[in-house]
Amino acid sequence: MARRYDSHTTTFSPEGRLYQVEYAMEAISHAGAAVGVRTDHGVVLAAEKKILSKLLETGTSSEKMHKLDDHLGVAVAGINSDANILINSARLTAQRYLMTYQEPVPMEQLVQTLCDQKQGYTQYGGLRPFGVSFLFGGWDKNCGFQLYQSDPSGNYAGWMATAIGANATAAQAILKTEYKEGMTLLEAKQLATKVLKQTMDSTKLEAEKVEMSEVGWVNAETKENVEYRVLQTKELTALCDEANAEAEAKAAAGKK
């Protein structure tokens, strides 16, 4: 029955659903998970890498984390080639704003512009929607640190903590119980690592399988500049070991 209404992205079904958009979200649920946690001191984005190979050049390009501007980063879940188009467009928007107003683009405006673009593909043109969900983490002077999630339908929302990609619902459930107000950036990183570990398939978390980035103050005391930064392997390894140890301790305590 659905077959009749699912081939054209711009057609509603009799139940009022847009099947192509839903299928796009289904595609994302098979992609690597990404988790975002917002605190008053910064935003943490963590993601599971799906493409694992010793032959990959890790230094040059990142699979899941992308910088949109100095104060803005994004984590991707879904089809990477689709993501690249949108990321390029987001970067253009950010720089156009900077050129016109000589100020960094406020986060919500950028997210809105991108989502308007995504929505266009669900209403006209006859092209399929973008099979990507994003987690935007960044800062602006109006609202401080913010975390936004967007999906192929072009809807977006601001979150304190959220997850996209594989096992997103499970990750969200964990976040709901574990997230507390007033966390430090380190605690947020630990939380993100823990959530990733619990939603990934493997038992032990390794730094090679994880990518993490943060948007935080360059100098926590002076609070002058905000910077998007991808975490180095050393820091990642430390976090992963901590998460592994904690899980083992819990398992051991549970057995007793």
Distance (Å, rounded) from C-alpha 88 to C-alpha 110? 12
Contact of 205 with 197, CB cutoff 8 Å: yes
CA dihedral 142, 215, 188, 109 (to 10 degrees): 40
The dihedrals phi and psi of 175, each to the nearest 5 degrees, come to -60, -40
**Least distance in Å: CB of 218 to other proteins?**
20
Min separation Cβ 118 and other proteins, Å:
18
**CA separation for the pair 78, 176 (Å, rounded):** 23
Nearer to other proteins, 223 or 250 (CB): 223
Instruction: CB nearer to other proteins: give 12 or 101.
Output: 101
Q: Which residues bind other proteins (CB under 8 A)?
A: 99-103, 106, 108-109, 141-142
User: How far, in whole angstroms, is CA 40 from its chain's centroid?
Assistant: 18
Instruction: Please state the closest distance from residue 143 (CB atom) to other proteins, in A.
Output: 9
Toward other proteins, which CB reaches closer, 106 or 165? 106
We find the least distance from the C-beta atom of residue 102 to other proteins, in angstroms, to be 4
Q: Which is nearer to other proteins, 97 or 179 (CB)?
A: 97
Q: Are 188 and 44 in contact (CB under 8 A)?
A: yes
Look at the block and give the residue holding tokens 């630990």. 190
CB of 110 to other proteins, least distance (A): 11
CB of 228 closer than 8 Å to CB of 215:
yes
Specify the residue, 2 or 143, whose C-beta has the smaller distance to other proteins: 143
Shortest Cβ 72–other proteins spacing (Å): 16
Cα three-residue angle 180-183-184, rounded to 5 degrees: 165
Q: Which is nearer to other proteins, 61 or 102 (CB)?
A: 102
User: Are the C-beta atoms of 146 and 14 separated by less than 8 Å?
Assistant: no
